[in-house]
Amino acid sequence: MNIYGYVRVSSVDQNEDRQIAALREVSVPEKKIFMDKQSGKDFERSYYKKLVRKLKAGDLLYILSIDRLGRNYEEIQKQWRVLTKEIGIDEYKDTLDREIHYDASRNIRISYEIEYDENHKWISETKYDADGNIIEQRKNQ
């Protein structure tokens, strides 16, 4: 399994430091961080395309948040299908403590949102199905 990171800012004058710092915190190797400085209106981005060509089944992809992948919800869904069904990545993680796991054998997606307090103590976890319906919620008492 290889670990990759993707960074996108909307223009060349925007600062990508926050996204890169978040990827470094989760130990994404520098040479496996792909960055585009252009709009997220579509997926015609050179480094995103290079990333997709590199990804293999079982790889892990980190992105600061899903809006860094793109702005158009339908396009994001299409790309999600490319990443999970055609390429077969096992996991996507955003660095905001949410995880999306895709099980290609059962054709399901389950996402988790985990909330921590300022001391990094676990507060709650919410589990969603592929349609965004809550499957389970747990809170730290």
Number of domains in the chain: 1
Active site annotation includes 10: yes
Q: How many whole angstroms separate alpha carbon 130 and alpha carbon 121?
A: 27
Q: What's the confidence (pLDDT) of residue 130?
A: 60
Confidence of residue 103 (pLDDT cuts 50, 70, 90): very low
Query: How confident is the model over 10-18, as a mean pLDDT?
Result: 89
Q: How many whole angstroms separate alpha carbon 55 and alpha carbon 65?
A: 19
Q: What's the confidence (pLDDT) of residue 128?
A: 66
Domain that residue 122 falls in: 3-139
Q: How many whole angstroms separate alpha carbon 115 and alpha carbon 133?
A: 18
What is the per-residue pLDDT across 110-134, written as a single tens digit (0 to 9) for each?
455 556 566 556 566 666 666 667 7
Query: 99: domain CATH number?
Result: 3.40.50.1390
| pLDDT of residue 30 exceeding 90 | yes
pTM of the model: 0.67
Alpha-carbon distance values, 104 to 4, 65, 68, 89, 138 (Å)? 20, 22, 24, 9, 26
Query: How confident is the model over 65-80, as a mean pLDDT?
Result: 78
Q: How many whole angstroms separate alpha carbon 59 and alpha carbon 2?
A: 5
Average pLDDT, the chain: 77
